[in-house]
Structure 1
Amino acid sequence: MKKYVLLISLALTVAACSVNPVTGESEFSLLSMDAEVAVGETNYLPTRQAQGGDYRVHPHIQRYINDVGRRLVKVADNAELPYEFVVINNSVPNAWALPGGKIALNRGLLMHLKDESQLAAVLAHEIVHAAARHGASQQTRGALLQLGANALQAGAAGQPFQRVAELATSLGGSAWLAKYSRKDELEADLHGMRYMHRAGYEPVAAVELQQTFLALNGSDKSQKTHWFGELFASHPPSSKRVAANQATARKLGSGSRYTERYERMIAPLKVDALAYRAARDADRALAKNAPDKALALLDQAVSIQPEESIFWRLRGDAWRQLKNLHNAELAYTTAITKNSIFYLNFLARGELRYDQGQTDAALADIQQSYDLLPTERASYYLGIVARDQGQLRRAKMHLQAASAQPSALGKRAQRALINLYLESAPQQLFNVSVLRTEQGSVRVQLQNTAPVALLVERLQIEDPRPGIRWARRIDMAIALPSGASTTFDIGDPVAETMPPAPLLAAKVVVASLVE
């Protein structure tokens, strides 16, 4: 054990020592810069999809945010990263950065900023998180904890460093958006304000944002506190941060606000605000099974902003609740026309088409949705279609993914997956061992490894020795709850016909669900 821990320590010391590109300090990181860039590239699109997709109604807003971001990158550390800046079509105020310079902020946050300098404060802060490799440092700390818990196993494999590095790189996008440490936040504040100053922006804007966030965070009854919950979860405000930012601002001096330019650029968002509120209320009405009310609200939303695909997709949901499937398909198709790179538009139409028996058309839509974002819903339908087409391996893969979720659909996927195994390979749902005892009798131990109760109806026992072809099937009726096991002896005359081999092989060949 000590040997393996020593090997791990040496591997980490040699391979994980790196220099923070922003502070110049030596730090541990289990990811190389190339690995970080790969993490960002891999997770950027699915993370954006999961949070609402890219905002596309007013393309000039995307260009504007990118221009401000590029202005800051020119004066930033680690500027060689492949930075990207995207506005997410989400009303919740939030911003985040993935490793490798992949940065996003929500449409909703733009509504709460007063000028371009405050926008620059948000973007500069996220640039520092990427430039200083805060995401990699955060995941390194988590990976080291797991490494310590599995030191013996990792050492025995001979490649402990590689195992932990693989753990870090395999994490999905959500894992990289967790809460930053206080040190990371203070570092992002300090250097972000320095970038703002170098780019000609007013550093006091960063102080103003922190003061606002701190006030909201301290007001437990404020509706805005809940509204800003995601932002506060990953970027916790504090009085210490406000004080530090004030001191930094005094040292840096003043800069430009660009208030008029900011107001001009986001003016369309303010015009559309009423439409998004109507759509939010329509979504709530649909949750209460009130499609007529939802359609009335969505008529308002579309009259204000007909180019927003969200409104058309919700109209499709409303028509579907009203059983008007023709209008539902038209609405979903319009949503796709407005935004053909958002997974949910394709998924909604694909589900509708599947329910109408249009399997080929449904499969095309759902596969398109899955390619943009592999979801539980898409996995379920892809699994069911693959099962019906006899593609058992593909069906098992998708149903396994869908059944991992603790939801009603996840349970349906689980049941479909188990039925698939029961039909094609029931032995994979059980652990079975059989042997002869010292007294010469045959003893069977049977365990149900499935997550549901199963009824064992037929067991096959065979001689596993090469060149020997002997097998017997035994009918039975043994109900086993999930995880349960049982042991029983096989009596004469079956036992007497079995070969004298000390070890025999056995498998379940017929089983069914316990209803």
Structure 2
Amino acid sequence: MRQWLLLAAMVALLHLTGCATNPVTGKNELSLVSEDQELDIGKKQYAPSRQMQGGDFILDRKLTAYVQQVGDRLAAVSDRKLPYEFVVLNDSTPNAWALPGGKIAVNRGLLVELGSEAELAAVIGHEIVHAAARHGAKGMERGMLLQGAIAVAGAAASGSDYSQLAVGAAAVGANLINQSYSRDAESESDYYGMQYMVRAGYDPRAAIELQETFVRLSESRQSNWLAGLFASHPPSRERVEANRKTAATLAKGGEIGRERYQQMTAYIRKLKPAYAAYGKGAEALEKKAYVEALQLAEQALAMEPREGLFHALKGDVLAAQGQDAKALAYYDKAVTLNPGYFKHYLQRGESLTRVGNRARAVRDLEKSVELLPTANAYYSLGILASAAGDKATAISHLRQAASGKSATSQIAGKELVKLDLPNNPGAYLQASVGNYQNRLIVAVQNTTGVEIGDLSVVVVRFDGRQHRYKLSQRLPAGKTLRFSTDIPLANPQDLKLWQARVLSARLTGQ
């Protein structure tokens, strides 16, 4: 019966939300996410999403203004008027993305690969369509319906990239910018994006050249492209031919703007070797090749000493070797050069923690969280609060850190259990009652990532009668322990009169 109620609720939801006309295609479509919700999501997720993708590129403000200008030109001819915004991100991965509500970003690493303003217009026009045609919102709606379908299926069966570090509300943005679009969504964005190019006065043939370049690069399987634009916007020969057919139906001519584009991107093209050295240095650091990493960081700094990332890399290398006092000078420089990027505060806060400067560490870690809530920052704040004897604050921070899916989140989850289990065992050990051969049995599930022992369980009848049980068995992480009680059940319906809960437990090894 319950599964039918769930199905009825889903049908009612569809009737309440109904269909809406897609402003780009003119088609009637299911709409579970309202325009107000789209705008709110874009507004709230734009800043943290930019942080987790490298932060804004601030060394060439004229470049950002130029990209904004091209974006505004295309947005003016869009079929849907949204509060469009366009930024350049300080990331070498060739990528671009759009959030619901018209919030669009283009990576520095993609700009250096394009050859003309018309190609840039093709990229931005494509992203504008994703926003205008609600492709991101549709992805969210598919997730909502899938969750509903899973709930119904469950009822029928039983009766019943730093984005990975983001936690809390910021994780929503991480999912949106990393989602893969459907083939239909990509086709729509290609087709209508070319329409927008013509309306804005650009040569639509640039979209063909762009896709040809993407196909060639994808076939060469360059790793940075595979991890960037191609992950969410997979190119294909079919898309090239589709763009060619579309261009044949559109007005000939239009601006290409090759010389202007080359002039506006000259600075980042000049710095491409510096960012390449930085990328190789980060890879060397990951492999613990510290001498090589330090040399590459210094190479990058020699080419552009105003880039905070390069100073931070040198700090990372020193910190990895236990030289936090020396690393702090480079983190200080990174923060001074780019005070709006979360990672510099996080790195400096962690180094300050290790050198014992708790007050400054807390300030930096809190600033990092303000810019982008991450498991790493919350974990460090939790450990600092615990060391200071502030158990409540420590638990709050660790709970935030544990809410993610990263390795740090898993570590935070274990620390959280250590602190909170003695006073709150029921939050981690779920007890339920059952009937086996007319005798009440109890199942205790360990939802944590650590082994637990010395469980004390109470079984309570509705009238207040209690039965307590001490268990000597150890309960491994993620496992369930079942035991039989001395409580008879004369009638199977009597099971409803009983409840079980865990009174106390401890981590094994403590």
The alignment's TM-score, normalised by the length of structure 1, stands at 0.85
Measure how far apart 1:90 and its partner are: 0.7
- Is 1:316 aligned with 2:315? yes
Measure how far apart 1:280 and its partner are: 1.5
Contact kept, 8 Å, 1:434 with 1:506, in 2: the verdict is: no
Partner secondary structure for residue 208 of structure 1: helix
Residues 144 and 463 of structure 1: CA distance in aligned 2, closer, same or farther (over 3 Å)? closer
CA distance in 2, matches of 1:282, 1:83: 36
CA distance in 2, matches of 1:335, 1:295: 16
Aligned to 2:247: 249
- CA deviation profile, 1:137-192 (whole Å, cap 9, x unmatched): 2322332233233349999xxxxxxxxxxxxx997123323121222222211221
Count of matched residue pairs: 484
CA distance in 2, matches of 1:444, 1:236: 51
Contact kept, 8 Å, 1:69 with 1:120, in 2: the verdict is: yes
Contact kept, 8 Å, 1:99 with 1:136, in 2: the verdict is: yes
Contact kept, 8 Å, 1:92 with 1:228, in 2: the verdict is: no
- CA deviation profile, 1:77-113 (whole Å, cap 9, x unmatched): 112x110001111101111111100001110001111
Measure how far apart 1:27 and its partner are: 1.0
Aligned to 1:283: 282
Residues 323 and 512 of structure 1: CA distance in aligned 2, closer, same or farther (over 3 Å)? closer
Aligned to 1:102: 103
Aligned to 2:189: 188
CA distance in 1, matches of 2:476, 2:227: 42
Residues 170 and 152 of structure 1: CA distance in aligned 2, closer, same or farther (over 3 Å)? farther
Aligned to 1:86: 87
- CA deviation profile, 1:212-259 (whole Å, cap 9, x unmatched): 212333x2xx25365344212211222332222112223221111111
Aligned to 1:369: 368
Contact kept, 8 Å, 1:353 with 1:362, in 2: the verdict is: yes
Partner secondary structure for residue 80 of structure 2: coil
- Is 1:20 aligned with 2:22? yes
1:19-168 aligned within 5 A: 19-79=21-81, 81-151=82-152
CA distance in 1, matches of 2:449, 2:414: 9
Residues 405 and 514 of structure 1: CA distance in aligned 2, closer, same or farther (over 3 Å)? farther
Contact kept, 8 Å, 2:22 with 2:29, in 1: the verdict is: yes
CA distance in 2, matches of 1:25, 1:410: 43
Residues 261 and 455 of structure 1: CA distance in aligned 2, closer, same or farther (over 3 Å)? same
Residues 503 and 51 of structure 1: CA distance in aligned 2, closer, same or farther (over 3 Å)? closer
Partner secondary structure for residue 44 of structure 2: helix
Match of 2:450 among 438, 441, 452: 452
Residues 472 and 42 of structure 1: CA distance in aligned 2, closer, same or farther (over 3 Å)? same
Aligned to 1:485: 481
Partner secondary structure for residue 253 of structure 2: coil
Aligned to 2:506: 511
Read off the aligned partner of 1:175 and give its amino acid letter: N
Residues 17 and 294 of structure 1: CA distance in aligned 2, closer, same or farther (over 3 Å)? same
Read off the aligned partner of 1:332 and give its amino acid letter: Y
Contact kept, 8 Å, 1:127 with 1:192, in 2: the verdict is: yes
CA distance in 1, matches of 2:325, 2:268: 32
Partner secondary structure for residue 87 of structure 1: strand
Aligned to 1:163: none
CA distance in 2, matches of 1:504, 1:246: 68
Match of 1:239 among 237, 251, 259: 237
CA distance in 2, matches of 1:329, 1:397: 28
CA distance in 1, matches of 2:15, 2:94: 40
Partner secondary structure for residue 172 of structure 1: helix
Aligned to 2:161: none
Read off the aligned partner of 1:366 and give its amino acid letter: L
Residues 490 and 211 of structure 1: CA distance in aligned 2, closer, same or farther (over 3 Å)? same
Aligned to 1:174: 174
Residues 51 and 15 of structure 1: CA distance in aligned 2, closer, same or farther (over 3 Å)? same
- CA deviation profile, 1:397-421 (whole Å, cap 9, x unmatched): 3323433556553343222111112
Contact kept, 8 Å, 2:7 with 2:152, in 1: the verdict is: yes
Partner secondary structure for residue 474 of structure 2: strand
After superposing the two structures, state which structure 1 stretch, 85-94 or 19-28, moved more.
19-28
Contact kept, 8 Å, 1:16 with 1:31, in 2: the verdict is: no
Aligned to 1:261: 260
Residues 481 and 116 of structure 1: CA distance in aligned 2, closer, same or farther (over 3 Å)? same
Read off the aligned partner of 1:17 and give its amino acid letter: C
Q: Note the aligned Cα RMSD (angstroms).
A: 3.3
- Is 1:204 aligned with 2:200? no
Contact kept, 8 Å, 1:120 with 1:201, in 2: the verdict is: yes
Contact kept, 8 Å, 1:193 with 1:203, in 2: the verdict is: yes
CA distance in 2, matches of 1:215, 1:442: 67
Partner secondary structure for residue 478 of structure 1: coil
> Mind listing any 5+ residue stretches in structure 2 that lack a counterpart?
157-168, 488-496
Larger radius of gyration: 1
Partner secondary structure for residue 86 of structure 1: strand
Contact kept, 8 Å, 1:455 with 1:514, in 2: the verdict is: no
Contact kept, 8 Å, 2:88 with 2:105, in 1: the verdict is: yes
Aligned to 2:378: 379
Measure how far apart 1:76 and its partner are: 1.6
> Mind listing any 5+ residue stretches in structure 1 that lack a counterpart?
156-168, 492-501
